[in-house]
Amino acid sequence: MTTRDTEVAIIGGGAAGIAAGRRLHDEGIACLIVEARSRLGGRAWTVADTAGLPLDLGCGWLHSADRNPWVAIAEAQGLTIDRTAPPWSRPSLPGVFAPGDQSAFNEAMNAFFERLSDAVASGKDMPAAALLEPGNRWNNLIVAVGTYISGTELAAMSALDFEHYHDTEVNWRVKEGYGAAIAAHGAGVPVVFDCAVTRIDHHGKRLRIETANGYIAADRAIVTLPSNVLAEREDFFSPALPEKTRAASRLPLGLADKLFLSLEQPEEFSAGGRLFGNVERAGTGTYHMRPFGRPMIECFYAGQCARDLEAGGENAFFDFAVGELTAHLGSDFARRIKPLLIHPWGSDPHARGSYSYAVPGAAGERAVLAAPVDGRLFFAGEACSAHDFSTAHGGYFTGIAAAEQAIASLKR
């Protein structure tokens, strides 16, 4: 058994843990990020394809970019911010979704969001699906878009929590990779890799952070584990913290997976175009043609559709993409695409999903998950964010907030 000693142990080195570690380290406080993987970033992960192009398998969009702290961080690192409007703000490829139908769908979706806002204005909660207009032709596609946003079907998620999300609708990208920018922000912060924490014992005067490689003694801990990881471990804290386990289980991670395809003869498509796989189905992908003008397609699957594809293995994603794309672009199109990269986040033992939503009635659980315990256990991670949940900037804000709480408690 090896032992280590630190003032603040940060459990998990994703966006939240990195933000917390950077803040504490810059303050001159001894801290240590304890990370189960052999890399920083967590659900922020940029991987180079065979041609060396950086692909974001996790977060890719700087949502609410005009107030997103990762923009300035990436720029200070010398990275390039692409301010091109996102594909979902543009019309679908001509010939795939008739313009009249697109307008009718946009109208139906905007009406759905307005009904949702009005219905929860008094603070009353309900499943978001209750606000669908019965019999509306576009309900399936509205559900599909709901899964892209929240990782789950509208029937499973809280309308009130959905309404709490603050979106400035400014969306940019980092050309060299959002994941790369987030991981680089941790440079110089002490980290121990390949070190999954199995328990935090908070009986004694000091915290005992137990791992497979020994234990770490600490005065404070900032816990940033994904909600699904926290929810499946009732014995993670000793003494147990049932309110944390319950809050985490009511803020599960929905599922979204990206498949990257190489594309031959890319010049036939304009950069940044997009299409839905099937506008009649809830279980359908959305396809971003030539992101950054590159010869590839970024495919996005979410909710039950992504769960089914993960169950079928990596080939299932490619087969599904071929089926949906050739339905629009002709059977010869299959020869022009090849699979590049996919990461199944639901099967990833250190994530168990992609981003958090609240089950109906659980909008208040984000505050419960974020609340400190005994002035020495602090909580961060996107699921703790009241208004920026499910995002990397939400992770950042909660990491900074937890670091400030830890600093204040050490000064006391």
Ligand X SMILES: Cc1cc2nc3c(=O)[nH]c(=O)nc-3n(C[C@H](O)[C@H](O)[C@H](O)COP(=O)(O)OP(=O)(O)OC[C@H]3O[C@@H](n4cnc5c(N)ncnc54)[C@H](O)[C@@H]3O)c2cc1C
Binding site for ligand X (CB under 6 A): 11-17, 34-37, 42-44, 58-61, 63, 196-197, 224-226, 229, 256-258, 345, 350-351, 354-355, 381-382, 390-393, 395
State the minimum distance, in angstroms, from the CB of residue 400 to ligand X: 12
Cβ closer to ligand X: 14 or 96? Answer: 14
Contacts of 242 by beta carbon, 8 Å cutoff, 6+ apart: 234
Least distance to ligand X from the beta carbon of 383, Å? 7
Cα distance between residue 195 and residue 6, in whole Å:
15
Closest CA to 218 of 34, 23, 412, 411: 34
Please identify, using beta-carbon distances, which residue of 254 and 329 lies nearer to ligand X.
Answer: 254
Minimum CB distance to ligand X smaller for 131 or for 340: 340
Of 14 and 132, nearer to ligand X (C-beta) is 14
The helix or strand, by DSSP H or E, that contains position 145, with its residue range, turns out to be helix 139-150
For residue 315, the minimal CB distance to ligand X (Å) is 19
Return the closest-CA partner of residue 403 out of 15, 64, 21, 14: 21
How far apart are CB 154 and ligand X at their closest, in Å? 19
Nearest CB to ligand X, comparing residues 309 and 392: 392
Nearer to ligand X, 35 or 161 (CB): 35
The answer to whether 264 touches 295, Cβ cutoff 8 Å, is yes
- Minimum Å distance from CB 278 to ligand X? 20
Phi, psi angles (nearest 5°) of residue 39:
-150, 160
Q: For the CB of residue 71, give the shortest distance to ligand X in the complex, in Å.
A: 12
Q: Are the C-beta atoms of 255 and 302 separated by less than 8 Å?
A: yes
Given the structure tokens 């892209």, which residue do they identify?
Answer: 148
What is the b/e burial string over 53-77, where b = at least 16 CB atoms within 10 angstroms of the residue's CB? Answer: bbbbbbbbbbbbbeebebbebbeee
